[in-house]
Amino acid sequence: MSKHAWMPVSPCGDGCVDHSTASVGAVRVAWRVVAASAVMLCGVLVVLAVLCVRGRARSVVLRRWFRALLGAFGVRLRVVGPVFQDNPGRGVLVVSNHVSWLDELAIDAVQPIRMVAKRDIRDWPVLGRLITAARTVYLDRERLSLLPGTVAELAQALRDGAAVGIHAEGTTWCGVASGRYRPALFQSALDAGVPVRPVVLRYRQGSATTTRPAFVGSDTLVDSMRRVLRSRGLVVEVHVLDEVAPGRAGTRRELAALVQREAERVAYGSVEVPSPRPHATRVA
């Protein structure tokens, strides 16, 4: 099927990915492969478990599994800010930038939410099943005719009190640069009358931002996984910003621009990032 003119496109490619940052040795890589394989195999049991439990128990099972998987890949999780959903009974649209296949793992390791993802993810071995079990909504970006139905589905989930997550750029960027937030899915928050929670994902090695986990260019999932497995001291930071309350923007375009401005204040360091609160810092 041919791509339409509104298909999200990123200029980030193979040249954006940093291969020179610190790496671990072959023994450590082999250990991580074994650990990650074991955690993913346990994912079969997790799929069965989430089919049998509901509510908070389901969330705890998924969150612990995603944290374990991050840790098996050698990735530490650092959370800065409040929880995604201050009021569990009120829906919230969680909006983040998009860098890597690790993004979904990091977000669900903080709080399993209903993510909107491209349909290809559904076919990933094991991982796709777990992401689906977390009630992911799949979006076919090549078929614009299906978009109103997706927006309506998200709006209903938000009215029902769910936390729903979107990657507003529509495609992956390298993590140093970012793209314009696409407004279409913001309509669901306006229709449901719920707040928007901006989230900024940053990948770091030591004190520097790294593009090594980026899933861009000619990358395959296996190629990107190999880079992550070889990375030393990789940390994914999840910066949870203050909610954008209903009524602060009248249209989806205004809302998307407002949320992007809030995110860029953290992403590009125009304001000081607060120190993590003791209860909000988690290490996988």
3-state SS, residue 7: coil
Q: What is the pLDDT of residue 88?
A: 82
3-state SS, residue 185: helix
In whole angstroms, what is the distance from residue 167 CA to residue 213 CA? Answer: 16
Q: Which residue in the block uniquely carries the two structure tokens 């913001």? A: 186
Q: Give CA separation, 215 vs 25, 35, 123, 220, in Å.
A: 22, 22, 17, 8
pLDDT of 283 > 80? The answer is no
* Tokens at 274, concatenated: 């607060």
Q: What is the mean pLDDT of the chain?
A: 84
Q: What is the pLDDT of residues 77-131, one digit of tens each?
A: 999 998 899 888 899 999 999 999 999 999 999 998 988 877 777 777 666 776 6
In whole angstroms, what is the distance from residue 122 CA to residue 88 CA? Answer: 27
The number of residues making up the chain comes to 284
